[in-house]
Chains A and B, each alone.
Chain A
Amino acid sequence: MSAEPAIKIVKQDKAKRKQSTGKQQLRVVIVGHVDHGKSTLIGRLLYDTDSLPEGKVEEIEAICKRRGTDVVEWSFVLDAFQAERDQAVTIDSTQIWFSTDNRDYVIIDAPGHREFLKNMISGAAAADAAILVVDGAEGVQEQTRRHAYLLHLLGLQQIAVVINKMDLVNHDTEAFENVSREVREYLGSIGVTPRFIIPISARNGDMIASRGESMGWYSGKTLIEVLDSFENAALPVSRPLRFPVQDVYRFQGKRIIVGRVESGILRKGDRLMFSPGNEEATVTSLEVWPEDDDKVEARPGEAIGITLDQRLFVERGHIGSHTKNPPMLSNVFRASIFWLSQKPLKVGNSYKIRFGSHEAMVTVQSIDKVIDTQDLADQSDKSEVKRNTVAEVTLRARDLLPIDPYSDNERLGRIVMYQGYDIAGGGVISMEGYADQRRRKAPKSENIHKVEHLLNHDVRAKRAGHRGGVFWFTGLSGSGKSTLAMAVEKALFEKGFSTYVLDGDNIRHGLNRDLGFSPKDRSENIRRIGHVAALMADAGLIVLSAFISPYRADRRRARAAAGEKYNELYLAADLDICEKRDPKGLYKKARAGEIKDFTGIDSPYEKPENPEMIIDTARQDVETCVEQIVAYIERQVALGDLSDDGKDKEQVLDYVV
């Protein structure tokens, strides 16, 4: 008989448990490939911060002993199912609480096994920030990529990476650098810049709550410090009001419309409009319990009731807004989706969708892209979307739906798709290339008729060997727009692509000679460039435009002009760095007051919210940036299979009317 194995725990300096601060919580999801140590990481984080309930460590030790392991499996703190412990794999996601001096956290453990992707999404969709765990010995694996891609699709902006199991690679810097590069490359290709990359050993607790002794060469933040550097999302108070109706109650003769304010502020006395019916009425009271006459406004997230001065036909699913800035109305939209059902999504199939409380039946009009999350290639088989894949689809409804694209409203711009009783998929809405059907504006001149071209873009693209496209570089002065655009143009040209750069010099001197720098003129400047770029792209050119283009609204118009050919490339370099570079001495002049309305100094720059690509020009050299951009453009303009379904034509028509 062998003696009972002793359970080893590598001890770290133990912090005393922090009290709950009672401040706003931050939800962080831990994702990554199966077995890369996500649950272990969380278990150890709780242990090192003294956050486990009394007796938990002893309980886990006893279980480990009984199960015959000689190290503590911290994952058992989370993996509570017997099946999870037996197979050493997380099946379902879980949530657990802990606090630092700064705030309270909800940590969400997600399963890494491919089979449980639906559970990973259930966990990740609730998070404000994410930690991507990569095994330092195994490097980037299939689910590392898929999870990263999904985080991006789910709209998570704050992502940090930990390279785990550093003890298995002798805490070696080179191993760390290699895996870091691999991760960074993949993330870069989907437009994600990780905030931090940290080497850790989850099992031993190195670089989690304390630094440990094995990786003196690393001088960056520990995991806890990284968590504390994340930010809570700001409430969308300044967005247009959205109040989806959840239910209508009749209490004591009062008709109370209940729902949750998703964005904007709803006030007593506001004139509201309910889409898609478009009836209007004025809010006479906000109803809460216990009764409160002082309740005159409700902010995003609040679940309230209202009464109106008129009896409108309002029911669950209608969306209340102010009369200005209502949602769009459309019976067709595009969505980037993930599909979870065993039964593939197919063109021509109908599904129930929900966004907010609105429910509708839609038919899949086309599958526009099926993306292999491993190499990001567009799959050639577009007849169906299989389980656990991502795709871009066009969906059509019978009636007009009150729609907000995801770029305008994160909470309502996302859909869940049902198949039978089950949630089968989800995704985010894009209205690129589609016009609001609420107010079909009459064309300015009755005499302009759209001429049907006998050639279409696909035919031209076939001849040229590549598609046309607009690649819209945006960023502060000095962020590298012209430098990169010129270098990319040269690289593409040398590879045999037809390409052209639009920038200040060739536009301001001719086409836009009549425009100055007032906000109105700036806006008009960009509007014209957007249309020129769209035309050139339609003619088959790869157009690179290099303008600061600081306003979202302007860029949105450029996007609308070029439809799906538009790609926004955000050159992320903050003001400090650009001002230090100051290649043309402009910042100096602006600071001295010699130039007025200089973007970043006394005129705002509105960062892209959903660029196709973010290029970190602050930290990467020009060559790396050029390589990334060229690779991206090549993918976008590749011929793939050119469809004959007339999709391009329809989009143009939708836009022109």
Chain B
Amino acid sequence: MYKYLDELEAKSIYIIREAYNRVDPMCMLWSIGKDSTALLWLVRKAFLGRVPFPLVLLDTGMEMQEVYDFRDNLIKEWDLNCINHMCPPEEDMDQTLPPATRSAMRKTEGLKSLLREHNFKGVIAGIRRDEQGLRAKERVFSPRTIDGNWDFKDQPPEFWDQYKTEFPEGAHLRIHPILHWTELDIWRYTQRENIPCCELYFARKDKKTGKMMRYRSLGEKNITFPVESPASNIEEIIHELETTNTSERAGRSMDKETEDSFERLRAAGYM
């Protein structure tokens, strides 16, 4: 089924193995969402069932309960090594940022403190180009300065599957093995491979309004909202994506606050 997924999969496995060979120590951000869970599946494929580096949840304490439950189950079932890293409180964030952006900034700061604590040289993250215009311009191996900044105006060249894997002391790499996948690809793959996913993606009747609602993307309680949709299983989600074109990040408030809020976040090191 969907033969073209084999090509995407092979490319991701190649990147993951490349990262493992070149970058040490390394960790993988696992937000428990569909993308990073599919990515986790790909990691297990790359290492024949193993996960040879720690997973990290950047925890704001604001994730939804279903997310925590899903995580705990999978850790048990797949025998995972997962670091739960607490992000600094919102009061510590740049107060000039709009509220949702500020809240998202907590993850950025959390990541910085994680890197400081564990001295990771590389961080694998499950972002995709089709999510957002800025992510579309990312590199697979993306170097970050010591303070985590993304110099997007001067990215290194990257071609023919040859990556820049060395960099000065103190800087680190973001590695993006599923950059070339789309949301639809992820769902088709999740279905084909039978990868577990959090129940929040499936539509449920909202008690107040009686409408069918589901999450397109998972984020913290205060800044992510469900969208109206009747899709209550994977087939229906795939069908919905094939036939409509609402933006995946429609339920994320920080993207909409100002024209450049996402850019400011990402330049400062947000995923």
Chain A positions near chain B (C-beta within 8 angstroms) = 17, 19-20, 22-25, 50-56, 63, 66, 77-78, 80-83, 91-97, 104, 106, 118-119, 121-122, 125-126, 246-247, 249, 251, 256, 258, 260, 287-290, 301-303, 305, 316, 340, 354, 414, 416, 421-423, 426
Contacts and interface: CB of A to CB of B under 8 A. Distances in A.
Q: List the 10 closest A-B pairs by CB distance, nearest first.
A: A80-B133, A125-B159, A53-B247, A118-B157, A416-B162, A303-B13, A94-B136, A289-B48, A92-B137, A303-B10
Interface residues of B, number: 56
B17 A423 contact: no
Count chain A CB atoms within 10 A of each CB in B45, B46, B158, B246 and give the residue with the most.
Answer: B158
Contacts of A289: 44-45, 47-49
Contact of B14 (A81, A303, A421): A303
B137 A301 contact: no
A97 B182 contact: yes
A529 to B, nearest CB: 37
Nearest to A94: B136
A258 B50 CA distance: 14
B180 to A, nearest CB: 8
Count chain A CB atoms within 10 A of each CB in B45, B50, B155, B188 and give the residue with the most.
Answer: B155
Interface string B229-271: 0000000000000111111101000000001100100000000
B133 A423 contact: no
A258 B132 CA distance: 33
A596 B155 CA distance: 59
B260 A82 contact: yes
Given A121-B159, A303-B14, A423-B162, A97 B48 contact: no
B48 A305 contact: yes
A94 B45 contact: no
A450 B156 CA distance: 49
A564 B132 CA distance: 49
Nearest to A95: B129
B130 A303 contact: no
A420 B93 CA distance: 36
Given A53-B245, A94-B133, A125-B160, A316 B7 contact: no
28 contacts: A19-B243, A23-B4, A24-B3, A25-B7, A50-B245, A53-B246, A55-B247, A55-B250, A80-B263, A81-B134, A94-B129, A96-B130, A96-B136, A122-B139, A122-B157, A246-B18, A260-B10, A289-B48, A289-B49, A301-B10, A303-B17, A414-B160, A416-B160, A416-B162, A423-B156, A423-B158, A423-B159, A426-B159
Nearest to B171: A421
Given A289-B48, A423-B158, A258 B17 contact: yes
Contacts of B166: 421
Given A81-B137, A246-B17, 10 more contacts: A24-B7, A63-B259, A80-B263, A104-B4, A121-B159, A125-B160, A246-B21, A303-B46, A421-B168, A422-B156
Contacts of A249: 47-48
Contacts of A354: 162
Contacts of B21: 246-247, 316
B137 A94 contact: yes
